Amino acid sequence: MRRFTVLAAALLAIACDKGQTGIMKLPDGTPPPADQSSDLPPVALNAQTPVEYPPALFDQGIGGTVILRLYADTAGVLVNDSTRVQESSGYPALDSAAVAAAPSLLFAPARHDGRPVAASFLQPIYFRHPGVGGTTP
């Protein structure tokens, strides 16, 4: 086992190029380290949420979370009629408000190996009443 470790260290030293700064660099074309993901989900770009809180539920202090399944193309544009409620809030009015606002949501596209790609993803929509702390009665 020790012989294998010494051989591996010697091969690594030969394969790496030590630059002028004294920092070793891996050869070009090496994959990213295992702890860095090369896949990134779409990123929301809206500065203000386009989701409107249903007035009747707001007045009653009712809140909840709706999880939407969305599909964005390579430009980050949501595909028409692709929006689905993945997980209901338990209140049809909140679910409907989230679905109705989906076309107004803006996203940077998902990325795979640095390139934009179309992707299906989950997007939570939170309805939190400031006076109640976001809990349902």
Q: What is the span of the domain harbouring residue 99?
A: 40-127
**β-strand partners of 115:** 112
Residue 96, in any domain of the structure = yes
Instruction: Render pLDDT for 92-131 as a digit per residue (tens, 0 to 9).
Output: 999 999 999 999 999 999 999 999 999 999 999 999 988 7
**pLDDT at site 23:** 54
Residue 29, in any domain of the structure = no
Using a cut of 0.75, tell me whether the model's pTM lies above it.
no
Q: Residue 74 in contact with residue 42, Cβ under 8 Å?
A: no
Q: Mean pLDDT over all residues of the chain? A: 79
Q: Residue 93 in contact with residue 125, Cβ under 8 Å?
A: no
Residue 107, in any domain of the structure = yes
Residue 76's domain is classified under what CATH number? Answer: 3.30.2420.10
Regions of the chain where pLDDT drops below 50: 1-22, 24-27, 34-35, 134-137
Residue 55, in any domain of the structure = yes
Residue 79, in any domain of the structure = yes
User: Domain tally for the chain?
Assistant: 1
Say which residues have a Cβ less than 8 Å from residue 107's Cβ, sequence separation at least 6.
42, 43, 44, 45, 72, 76, 77, 78
Residue 28, in any domain of the structure = no
**pLDDT at site 133:** 56
**pLDDT at site 36:** 53
Residue 59, in any domain of the structure = yes
Residue 29: DSSP 8-state: T
First and final C-alpha spacing in the chain: 64
Residue 68, in any domain of the structure = yes
